[in-house]
Amino acid sequence: MRIKNLTCLVALASALGGCGLFGPTYSQPNTNDPKSFPSRDTLAVTESANLPAMAWWKSFKDPVLDNLIESALKNNNNIQNAIGNIVAAQGQLRQVQFAWIPTGNATGSYSNKSFIGEGYNFAGLPSYSLNVFQQIRSQQYAEANYQAVRAAKDTVRLSVISQVATGYFTLLGQDYQLQLQEQLVRDLKALLDFSKVEYKEGLLSLYQVQTYEQQYDSALAQIPIIKNNIVASRNALRVLLNENPGDITRGLKFTQINSYGVIPTNLPSTVLRNRPDVQQAEQQLIAANANIGVATSMFFPTISLTGQGGTAANALSGLFGANTDYWVENAAVTMPILNFGIYGQIEAAKGQYYAAYYNYLQVVRSAFAAVDNDLSAHDQLTVSMDTQIKAYNATKLGYTLAESSFVGGLYSKPQLLQNAVTMDQAALVVQQSKLQQLGTIVQLYQDLGGGYAYKNYESTVKFGDGHDWD
């Protein structure tokens, strides 16, 4: 009968909780989501709804990039750290969930008194103390906190994917930049050598020679800087992979990386609801809402049920025999009286909810702004790069024509080398522009929440010290 009554009480508490009797009922804030992104003319719901599980980096068709991201998702230390936080949050949730179960201890004793004789006793001591209202709200809080921690882990996965992709593209870009810069240095050196000869022959001023020398020195000074940047990029990638410093295998060359047509053509604004930071912010809001209920529930009674049941006998052999059972029980209800500190706790919980509410709105607003910025940046940089490619092609054609004129005796060697230098410089501009364009693609997918759910290795992870995840 006791368990039946307690079950009814729990059911009643759940119903009352839904009515907001001991704290507000949660409802998702209205963020007035835009129907479209201003940087796109038309938007529609497409396969982009599957972005969380989409391996968008495979669009570049570079197996090395694919392997690097897979390795990072398995081995990255920040991801493992986030999984550890999930384990802790899961433990806290289970503590709250198991709080419904009574606790107890078992004891046994022996006594030998001259006036009553020898006796044996075995007793179980169950106890149960519960604020039903507080328990329900505490469980809501723990569940929301657990989901928030899981979302935080997804945010880390999203960041790691973005960092690996950006780092890899940067490394390929630096390789190509070094190649172009070394060619520029060679052409400037040849131009400088010819200018010195022409100066001796009185065909060129000292000022012009010094100008060529300055250009050469400046270009040469960039070589060690680029080489150092390559080392830094390699090591940054290896840290993401949880590896010591060393080289990184390359796949495609930078010029082979396709940066066109690798972003979704249609983007519904609702896709941002899948962003893990948005989900985390909402779960934190749900937890804050539940915490108001936890504080308010302190005004409600705490039910305490204690008892002692067991057996007693004069001989050990008869301890668990018939007619040796006994039961003693107590029940109590505790109500807080004149505890004005509870009002302060409720006020504090409401303040935390207020902060979480506007943090959620800020995260959502920032998400929409970031995606629209990314779309605009990608479109504008693509237009700019197309123009720069045209300019490079013009310098390339100019060099080809100059080379033909040089063979025909119409162009001097210095004039031909000057055309070569112009072409080298134009190629470097295109390289930097393409690297920036690739960066906007990666950033867009990160801001869309793309790929974080791809191959979630959480269930198979083992901690470095040998402890199992599950």
Q: What is the pLDDT of residue 35?
A: 57
Q: What is the pLDDT of residue 327?
A: 46
Closest alpha carbon to 445 in 236, 241, 159? 159
Distance CA 70, CA 83 (A): 17
Query: How many C-beta atoms lie closer than 10 Å to residue 87's C-beta?
Result: 17
Q: What mean pLDDT comes out for the span 409-413?
A: 81
Q: What mean pLDDT comes out for the span 286-310?
A: 56
What are the tens digits of pLDDT across the range 349-393? Answer: 788 888 888 888 888 888 888 888 988 899 999 999 999 999 999
- Range 358-372 burial, b when 16+ CB lie within 10 A, else e: eebbebbeebbebbb
Query: What confidence category does residue 45 fall into, taking pLDDT thresholds of 50, 70 and 90?
Result: very low
Q: Is 266 exposed, middle or buried (0-12, 13-18, 19+ CB in 10 A)?
A: middle
Please give the mean pLDDT across all residues of the chain. Answer: 77
Distance CA 258, CA 237 (A): 21
Closest alpha carbon to 108 in 320, 269, 376, 259? 320
Closest alpha carbon to 240 in 156, 171, 154, 160? 160
Q: Got the DSSP string for 12-80?
A: HHHHHHHTTTTSPPP--------SS-TTSS-----GGGGGGG--GGGGG--HHHHHHHHHHHHH-HHHH
Return the amino acid letter for 376.
Answer: S
User: Which of 87-96, 111-120, 357-366: highest mean pLDDT?
Assistant: 357-366
- The rounded percent of the chain whose pLDDT value lies above 70 is 66
Q: Is 80 exceeded by the pLDDT of residue 241?
A: yes
Q: What is the pLDDT of residue 57?
A: 95
- Pair 267, 372: CB distance under 8 Å: no
Q: What is the pLDDT of residue 329?
A: 47
Q: What is the pLDDT of residue 223?
A: 97
Torsion of CA 180, 181, 183, 185, to 10 degrees: 170
Q: What is the pLDDT of residue 306?
A: 47
Per the model's pLDDT, the better-predicted residue between 291 and 425 turns out to be: 425
First to last CA, the chain: 38
**Domains of the chain as residue ranges with CATH:** 16-103+131-299+341-460 (1.20.1600.10)
Q: Among 97-106, 141-150, 232-241, 273-282, which stretch is predicted with the lowest mean pLDDT?
A: 97-106
Query: What confidence category does residue 217 fall into, taking pLDDT thresholds of 50, 70 and 90?
Result: very high
Q: Is 80 exceeded by the pLDDT of residue 417?
A: yes
Q: What is the pLDDT of residue 280?
A: 86
Q: Is 80 exceeded by the pLDDT of residue 294?
A: no
Distance CA 305, CA 105 (A): 14
Tallying the residues shown for the chain, one arrives at 470
Distance CA 63, CA 28 (A): 42
3-state secondary structure of 326: strand
Q: Is 80 exceeded by the pLDDT of residue 276?
A: yes
Distance CA 1, CA 5 (A): 6
